Structure 1
């Protein structure tokens, strides 16, 4: 450890003497890209190895009762690891990154460089119906954040390198550098400026190159274009896009509802039992719900869609097209339940893969039904349009969805219909939801950083740091004479009234008593409670600064009391907030 610290000090000394911070960040973005790309490859292979070890000997034409047990085992191991070893809730990986950006100065715990990979491998490898992308994005962000902290870089640099790590992780796991870059802009809300573009690109390209060097040049999904896009079928793409938007609404609301149900379960063993049994039954009935679901997506994209029923109790329906579509609709409907149960019960994983899975099935089902009439739509193409549509709607990331599908399938010739489907889905869900699943809880608490710089600065500001505690208080049992003595010792014109237990009772304003404060005859006849007034609003010390500013605006006040559990804490003023705002804005905007 001492040797490592000595090496780091030498590197830092060299950096300070020989290289500018901007160039040093570019160098670190290269390192972050390589490490995050390597992490993506390791995770991908660990999951593949685990799944192959557990299910490699299953017969395609027979049901496998192990499906009933594996998911519960995986969730149990994951929960025990988190509860007794990691001892910190991993949550949704992307939401954890966003929370770190807004409330933790972009500082992410060191254990996140490996803990998300370990727990998601167990969750997904044992059948958890989630994706590995969010955990590896958190891993990449943790690598970037901790590397930046090691060299004592500022908040902006730490945020940028954490974004570089996430971008690289997504690029590495999919071999899709542009999708990785766009992910950090649309989902993580990293500002796209000239100072941030180059490091993000370097990280994404480095991760992709690392993945290519170690894994080869194969696309994540195998796809061959058999039928180019026909503009005469444009209306079908638009309709599918709208349907994908509605599916995104369904996905979002079911996820919230199911995860909310699990949060109400006080005992973690109850969550494991309920989740394990529910998920086991779903996977036993529909084995395609196992894990990420990329095997089923490849089967559909390559025209082997009947193989989706392998190992299933519905295997005998392979040759009945109508019943096959009905089973596919059931798989589509239950996928979100399987995903929500996995995360709600304590598993670790993301929604990247489930959105691609549901989009693929939606596009295939839609085109198959339409083909019952006269049109002959290419089901494989529409599966891709559906993937872009549902991902765009659920994640509120239309450009990420388009470029991801294009890059991982080599399907750039379908760029226009992918754009149309993605845009239609995104516009549709906007009519129902204001924020994506990643952003909704943070937005409700006022903790979400956005591309709106004013709101971002307000989010970064911490209310407790601007509370003024120098106001002289007065006891509610005091009289006017006592108040005058207090006024003589104070430089402020507001006097909080409290009781003997420090409970806030109201305020006395100097302007309201100016006409009587020198009338000595009233000193003992007039009590403070007769003179005090209640402020138009009160502020809780943990409220977001955005909510506080709304209270100032609605009340028209310049000063508001800060009260917690009825106890008086201090006051907050507009002037202090504006001063702090300017300081944070300069800190946030510095290049």
Structure 2
């Protein structure tokens, strides 16, 4: 843990610098595509006077991305987070230099040319690549590389949005697939390092500071839950439509390299309808939170943004999902907010918290992200209510999240529920067969062979000395080998087993360690011996370990009630 925490100091810095570079590249691309100038200064696509060129710029950017994906690396396609998850679970957390360079570059071209995406997915992939590449410079395990990959991803997210708590929770709920000090502490270190760098690189304070005030009263929690239910349905619908669109692209009789260009045609048409749907849309998020948009604009933003985002992302181009989700959830919350007391900007924030939770299956991340993003921590009860309701709807309607569905379509099922392995908290003394039958070390090989030939109840038996201390384990296979070999059948078992290393455990040994022992040794039954006397007090078999898993599953599913009985 301490080693990885020290390495996370470097990874956190790398994630922050990577976020700064990504935003600068997006600004340069935006200036080049829409204003014809080489500049890294702020630029809004809505300020461009390019006219019908709005139909061309997304197409040019998509063609460039298609070429980069085909001749550079196909891993730059997609929204970043599923690719990071897949690398963690199935790629030993190894990302290449090529991905680290091409992913932010392709994202900059995509967003800068008008792609309706945000920078969060690409920076998670880029920050993760920085952590993975740094880890690969050292002699580390796959689990340790995973920790640094996730640390880099969380550091990048922190630098972009200034949301350290949400970044840590995103790591836990979406990327780490564990909650251990070895991984948690380094992620916290990387996030804090990135947060310290952020004022120097990108500025301080909430990314979307707003003056919207939360209405008072207990009814706010109930109303927030209702908003969460609505945006939870919206999240499920968007996820379903996204993969329907992706299926349609897979049916096209053209190479996938051209799919982003086809999707870009619809992006251009959407931009012709309303320029606000193009690019990252951070200005639109701010306007929603400020409550400064008319209902007509909000509805146009909601439906047009949804269509162009679904088509563009389904085409396999490079881009993120978080900023579009915030816009769509915020627009829904804003529309509902016109019928509720309080600022519509507050209800837009509640919608953002809910849709992030429902789509990504990360309820605590969604609740805290909305509060940190706006600086309104007093609204946490409302954001938690929205996130919890949206999460409940999501798990009831969707088998997987918008992130893991993409991986499942490649034949890899991912369970996003944390459970405790029953073998990790049970001890050998709780599962072992106590007082097992044993064979004396004074027994001859001939007698042991006859014992097994006459129908021994078990496949193997512990061999003990006169005081009941373990000498080894003898099995039916040993008896058969002795029968066909030239072994002296008058030799005692104690003499035969004296040079054999027999795995053994103690009653307090965790069953998970014994399972590892069985796998490594190939021995199906492990004697359990008293730590002080060395006497055999039990025997633990593979069957016993499987029974523990079965008991745990029954505790999850079997239902019963207390039976009242009269005395």
**Alignment TM-score > 0.5, same fold:** yes
The reply on whether 1:343 has 2:322 as its aligned counterpart is: no
Q: Which residue of 2 aligns with 1:513?
A: none
For 2:248 and 2:326, the matched residues in 1 are separated by 25
Q: How does 1:85-96 map to 2 (within 5 A)?
A: 85-86=72-73, 88=75, 90-96=77-83
Deviations 1:86-141 (A, max 9, x none): 35553331111111122221112222222110000000011101121111101111
CA distance in 1, matches of 2:45, 2:394: 40
**Larger radius of gyration, structure 1 or 2?**
2
Structure 2 counterpart of 1:499: none
Distance 2:159 2:216 in 1: 29
Take 2:99 and 2:231, find their aligned partners in 1: how far apart are those partners?
Answer: 33
Does residue 448 of structure 1 match 2:414? Answer: yes
Aligned residues of 1:95 and 1:438 also touching (Cα < 8 A): yes
- Which of 85, 101, 107 is the matching residue for 1:120? 107
Deviation, structure 1 residue 274 = 2.5
Q: Distance in 2 between matches of 1:57 and 1:339?
A: 18
Structure 1 residue 434: Cα displacement: 2.1
How far apart are residue 262 of structure 1 and its match?
1.2
Secondary structure of the corresponding residue to residue 51 of structure 1: helix
Contact 2:73 2:98 in 1 (8 A): yes
CA RMSD of aligned residues (A): 2.9
- Displacement of 1:449 in angstroms is 6.1
Distance 2:215 2:234 in 1: 26
Residues 575 and 70 of structure 1, relative CA distance in 2, 3 Å threshold: farther
1:24 and 1:91 map into 2 onto residues whose CA distance is 33
What is the CA–CA distance in structure 2 between the aligned matches of 1:209 and 1:353, rounded to whole Å? 23
TM-score (norm 2): 0.69
Shift of 1:62: 7.9
Residues 33-48 of structure 1: matches in 2 within 5 Å? 33-48=12-27
Change (3 A) 1:449 1:29: farther
Shift of 1:285: 0.5
Q: State the 1:340 CA deviation.
A: 2.4
Contact between 1:99 and 1:447, CA under 8 Å: does it hold in 2? no
| Aligned residues of 1:86 and 1:111 also touching (Cα < 8 A) | yes
SS at match of 1:121: helix
* Residues 1:133 and 2:120 are matched in the alignment: yes
Pick aligned residue for 2:352 from 357, 364, 387: 387
Q: What pairs up with 1:191-590 in 2 under 5 angstroms?
A: 191-268=178-255, 270-306=258-294, 324-325=295-296, 327-368=297-338, 370=339, 375-443=340-408, 445-448=411-414, 450=416, 451-452=418-419
Answering whether residue 58 of structure 2 is matched by residue 71 of structure 1, we say: yes
Are 1:162 and 2:149 matched, yes or no? Answer: yes
Q: Report if aligned partners of 1:160, 1:190 keep a CA contact under 8 Å in 2.
A: no
The offset of 1:402, in angstroms, is 1.2
Measure how far apart 1:257 and its partner are: 0.8
Whether the 8 Å CA contact 2:243–2:314 is kept in 1: the answer is no
CA contact (8 A) 1:175 1:212 kept: no
The 3 A distance-change label for structure 1 pair 151 and 255 is same
Cα deviation code 1:399-448 (max 9, x no counterpart): 11111111121010111111111111111122210211111243462443
**Alignment partner, residue 471 of structure 1:** none
Name the stretch that deviates more: 56-65 or 104-113. Answer: 56-65
Deviations 1:460-491, CA, capped at 9 Å, x for gaps: xxxxxxxxxxxxxxxxxxxxxxxxxxxxxxxx
1:301-348 CA-to-partner distances (Å, cap 9, x unmatched) read: 223214xxxxxxxxxxxxxxxxx43x5334313323212222233420
Q: CA 1:273 to 1:171, structure 2 compared with 1: closer, same or farther past 3 Å?
A: closer
SS in 2 for 1:390: helix
Q: Deviations over 1:326-377 (max 9, x none)?
A: x533431332321222223342011111111111111111112x1xxxx533
Taking the aligned partners of 1:45 and 1:278, their CA distance within structure 2 comes to 27
Pair 1:231–1:263, CA change in 2 (3 A): same
Unmatched runs of 5 consecutive residues or more in structure 2: 36-42, 425-540, 550-567
Give TM-score scaled by structure 1 length.
0.66
* Number of residues of Structure 1 aligned to a counterpart in Structure 2: 420
Looking at structure 2, the residues matched to 177 and 222 of structure 1 have their Cα atoms a distance apart, in angstroms, of: 16
Find the residue that maps to 1:431 and give its secondary structure.
helix
Q: Does 1:177 align with 2:172?
A: no
Shift of 1:189: 3.7
Report if aligned partners of 1:252, 1:394 keep a CA contact under 8 Å in 2.
Answer: yes
Provide the secondary structure at the position in 1 that maps to 2:70: helix
- CA offset digits 1:172-230 (Å, max 9, x no partner): 11111111111111111431222222111001111111112222213211311345443
Evaluate the alpha carbon distance shift between residue 58 and residue 32 of structure 1 in structure 2; reply closer, same or farther with a 3 A threshold: closer
Question: Equivalents in 1 of 2:342, 2:44: separation in Å?
Answer: 36
Change (3 A) 1:87 1:248: closer
Secondary structure of the equivalent of 2:4? helix
- Take 2:286 and 2:102, find their aligned partners in 1: how far apart are those partners? 29
Query: Given that residues 69 and 280 in structure 1 are in contact (C-alpha distance below 8 angstroms), is that contact kept between their aligned partners in structure 2?
Result: yes
Is the Cα contact below 8 Å between 1:274 and 1:345 reproduced in 2? yes
1:26 aligns with 2:13: no
Deviation at 1:454, TM superposition (A): 5.8
